[in-house]
Structure 1
Amino acid sequence: MSMVLIVFVVVYLGMMLGHLPWLKVDRAAIALGGAVALLAASRLTETQALASIDFSTIGMLFGLMLISIQFEMSGLYAAVSAAVARVRTPPPVLLALLIALAGAMSAFLTNDVVAVAMTPVVLAISLSRGLNPVPFLLAIAFATNAGSVATIIGSPQNMLIGEQLHLSFAGFMAYTAVPALLSLAVVWLALMFFYRDRWRLERSAAPLGVAPAAAPDAPRFDRWETGKGVLVLGFVLYAFIFTDWNRGLVATSAGAFMLFNARFMSRSMLHRMDWGLLILFVGLFIVNGAFQDTGMPQQLVADLKTAGFDLQHSGVLFAASAILSDITSNVPTVMLLLPYASDPAAGPLMALASGLSSNLIVIGSLANIIVVDAANARGLNISFWEFAKVGVPVALTTLLVAWVWVRYLM
């Protein structure tokens, strides 16, 4: 039991720090190492390890990643982003259009991929029009996080919640769609307020090394491949909403179908997969499963309840999900707290808390880091405080909106 506890503590310390002291390992490697250590020390068998993995969630994540990659490689993200960014409207209207686009795409596709594809396009178009790119780039980060809470397939943690709690696609959206839409409005209002007199780019502030007319390395738009992806995604959504077919198998089958492609090499598509995230899921499933089997979490929860901190109370679970998501990251937090989601609304509340709290600080989500790193790579620095100045009020306001909607208006 002590070995399991040590591994669990080390793994979640790694989740919190993003690495381990003096070692160049990331979260995925830490989770995998923890799982292997438990197997090597005979603290669980191979059968127990396999039984603790939710293969339906892994399948959903795998398949939807490949569909999203199909859209990325066919140039859909870049083409749509560029079309919206080229619309000759005042900056506030352009900001609203980009927020709506990023939020809508993130609700049905992987929000991290949306951020990767949209960031260079938005940056390049902003510069070509002499606009300050910062509010538009922040809009991409905030909107992808906010939009992703709307559906079960909007983020990895949503998929995990939906599969573990057996939530229907429509039932999940009944709780989350309105808060997601209202959160996008909050993002627009906050950016409007903080950048109301800073829309234009000062020449001295222009980043270097960016082609102003178009996004660098943007894939050429392919109507046939995009159309194929739309049809496959439509089939997946139909199956999720109107049938009781296994969602993991449906998504995996759809993703595998995308690999049989006349234009894109399957190797190229698989190379773009976020294998680290899949490894993270597998490792955490095993580590958390072993920890649950010790009985220690149940005893700790009982002690906390005696002390007046009941994790099975939806309000406490909502607050814990929001706080821990910015400390240990979304997926590890949800995996840790999901066993205590007993209230019917607890699953959607966890999804809203983990997703909307991501806008608090830069390290709150991978989408934030993608946007900031892409801007920094092109000479535009978005500091921790520049992000938090807008992110903190956005996150706190949207969390309040979500809580009020689910607990008092549903």
Structure 2
Amino acid sequence: MSLKESHSFANYIWRVSLVTFIFSALFTNDAACVILTPIFLKYWEKQNRRAAELQTLLLAIATSANIGSVTTIFGNPQMALIASRTDNEKYRESTLTLVRSIIYLGVPAIIGFGINYGFLILHYKVRLRLKIRKYGSSGNYSRSKPGMIKGEDEVNGGGDLGTTERSIIFSENGNGKSGRVNNDDDMDKDNALETNYKADSALVINTIDKTTKSDNNQIIIEQDPGYSFNQSHSRGFKIFLCVLLVVVIILMFIKVGDFSFDIGLVPMLGATIALVVDAAFNKRNASVIMGRVDWGVIMMFFGIFVWLHGINTTRIPRWIWKQMGLADANLDDTQTIIILCVFVIFCSNIFSNVPLTIIVLDQLEPCKNQFALVLYLGWCSTIAGNLTLFGSVANLLVAQKAKETLDEPLTFMGYLKYGFVSTMIIVVIGIPIIYALLLI
């Protein structure tokens, strides 16, 4: 799905939102924001579109990723937790499978996606009108690149300065001293080589023969292909990835009881196989991929599970659950549903949606049909991520990538002004849809 400069903003934002929605359902909302945000922003900057579009574009990526992720059990961490916890004989009647997730949460997600798209268009028109009123015209986006020297834009392919940091060229002038370094400030050649060697031990130094140059001697630092992170051009590897993705999705569709395995191990096994095959096809060292894993985030989640288990052993969450009247509730009356949804939405933004999901899941009673509770929990905890900037990690990832790519801030208040109203409306409309689907 191409993004063209000739597209109207309504068409443009529709394409961005739809791609993000589908991508997040298949590969999680966090992955969608990390991968797609820089791509969309670079396309947008290259096409020199209106500056008033940028904030709406960022909101479209973040909100569409969160809404799309509720469609599948692997769309976000809380959905995966719900599916994993209920994938047990004790909770057989409350099990959230991939099929059930698509049927009961996919429908309200699609409707919520349409509502969110309408709010995005409204948001853009309001911002455009305010800019015209304040400045007389909206203007097109332009960004001066600090430190950019004539000719560097061509070297960098029109991208950011950091895109060629591993293809640095040092020029040696006539007096034997190091000249300008294309990608950084002037520095001594030996220091530059040492710095880049420490950054990546896989850098190889190739010296160009003096007879092949007219004026300057050049030392070119290239990257060892075995330690590169470039896109694979192997057709066999791409075919394998497609087959592997299909197999993983099929395994997610298998019902409890057909086979005895933890669905949480499926993506882990798929990733392990992909690493092995990548090394075989592309001759690439797996340590390059493993080195890009944010182990700090993983350790943070380990810590969250530990202290949440400690909180649950105090029985305080259970006491609060009973005080709200949710302990033995069947969620068939409006008041109980409202209490549950309000509790989940606001506590998701206070304690984060993953810890809240863990606490609520610990309140599930074995051998009892609490499928409605599971659906409302998944829907509200996920859509609540669109309420504030800190409601979802995906939102923070979009803000981070926007700052890195275009130096554009996505502020808390700017997000809240859009997210509060749109999120509450989408949640309120989605709940009766889920209720109606449960009656069918």
Common topology (TM > 0.5) = yes
Tell me the equivalent position of 1:56: none
Q: CA deviation at 1:160?
A: 0.2
Distance 1:110 1:228 in 2: 21
Q: 1:122 to 1:173 in 2, by over 3 A?
A: same
Distance 2:266 2:400 in 1: 34
Tell me the equivalent position of 1:368: 395
TM-score between the two structures when normalised by the length of structure 2: 0.67
> In structure 2, what residue type is equivalent to 1:254?
G
The answer to whether the 8 Å contact 1:206/1:380 transfers is no
> In structure 2, what residue type is equivalent to 1:330?
N
> In structure 2, what residue type is equivalent to 1:326?
N
Q: Which has the higher contact order (CA 8 A, sep 6+)?
A: 1
> In structure 2, what residue type is equivalent to 1:105?
F
Distance 1:357 1:334 in 2: 12
Q: 1:348 to 1:87 in 2, by over 3 A?
A: farther
Distance 2:143 2:98 in 1: 43
Distance 1:219 1:236 in 2: 24
Distance 2:26 2:234 in 1: 19
User: In proportion to residue count, which structure has more strand?
Assistant: 2
Distance 2:311 2:399 in 1: 35
Q: 1:253 to 1:86 in 2, by over 3 A?
A: same
Q: 1:336 to 1:141 in 2, by over 3 A?
A: same
Tell me the equivalent position of 2:145: 209
Q: CA deviation at 1:220?
A: 4.2
The answer to whether the 8 Å contact 2:48/2:141 transfers is no
- Map residues 192-341 of structure 1 onto 2, 5 A cutoff: 192-196=121-125, 198=128, 202-203=138-139, 206-209=142-145, 217=163, 220=231, 222=233, 224=235, 225-242=237-254, 244-245=258-259, 246=261, 247-260=263-276, 261-262=278-279, 263=282, 264-305=284-325, 313-341=336-364
Q: CA deviation at 1:92?
A: 0.6
Distance 1:276 1:315 in 2: 36
The answer to whether the 8 Å contact 2:104/2:437 transfers is no
> In structure 2, what residue type is equivalent to 1:374?
K
Q: 1:209 to 1:124 in 2, by over 3 A?
A: farther
Q: CA deviation at 1:324?
A: 1.0
Q: More displaced, 362-371 or 342-351? A: 342-351
Tell me the equivalent position of 1:102: 20
Q: Are 1:346 and 2:373 an aligned pair?
A: yes
Give the structure with higher Rg (CA): 2
What is the count of residue pairs matched by the alignment?
A: 327
Q: Are 1:179 and 2:108 an aligned pair?
A: yes
Q: More displaced, 386-395 or 216-225? A: 216-225
- Aligned equivalent of 1:402, options 423, 426, 430: 430
Q: 1:270 to 1:119 in 2, by over 3 A?
A: same
Q: CA deviation at 1:192?
A: 0.5
Distance 2:291 2:86 in 1: 32
The answer to whether the 8 Å contact 1:357/1:395 transfers is yes
> In structure 1, what residue type is equivalent to 2:309?
G
TM-superposition CA deviations, 1:317-354 (whole Å, max 9, x none): 32211111111111111112222346311112111111
Q: CA deviation at 1:298?
A: 2.9
The answer to whether the 8 Å contact 1:311/1:317 transfers is no
> In structure 1, what residue type is equivalent to 2:359?
L
The answer to whether the 8 Å contact 2:24/2:32 transfers is yes
Q: 1:273 to 1:314 in 2, by over 3 A?
A: farther
SS across alignment from 2:81: helix
Distance 1:360 1:173 in 2: 23
Tell me the equivalent position of 1:14: none
The answer to whether the 8 Å contact 1:175/1:406 transfers is yes
Q: 1:358 to 1:207 in 2, by over 3 A?
A: farther
Distance 2:330 2:238 in 1: 44
Distance 1:251 1:387 in 2: 32
Distance 1:141 1:223 in 2: 32
Q: 1:296 to 1:388 in 2, by over 3 A?
A: closer
Distance 1:348 1:208 in 2: 48
SS across alignment from 1:196: helix
Distance 2:348 2:407 in 1: 29
Tell me the equivalent position of 1:153: 74
Q: 1:124 to 1:249 in 2, by over 3 A?
A: closer
Distance 2:286 2:125 in 1: 46
Distance 1:213 1:183 in 2: 37
Distance 1:385 1:409 in 2: 36
Distance 2:159 2:64 in 1: 22
Unaligned 5+ segments in structure 1 are: 1-82
Q: More displaced, 160-169 or 217-226? A: 217-226
Q: CA deviation at 1:239?
A: 1.0
The answer to whether the 8 Å contact 1:84/1:94 transfers is no
Distance 2:247 2:420 in 1: 38
SS across alignment from 2:111: helix
The answer to whether the 8 Å contact 2:5/2:47 transfers is no
CA RMSD of aligned residues (A): 3.0
Q: 1:294 to 1:127 in 2, by over 3 A?
A: closer
TM-superposition CA deviations, 1:89-122 (whole Å, max 9, x none): 2221111111110000100112112111111221
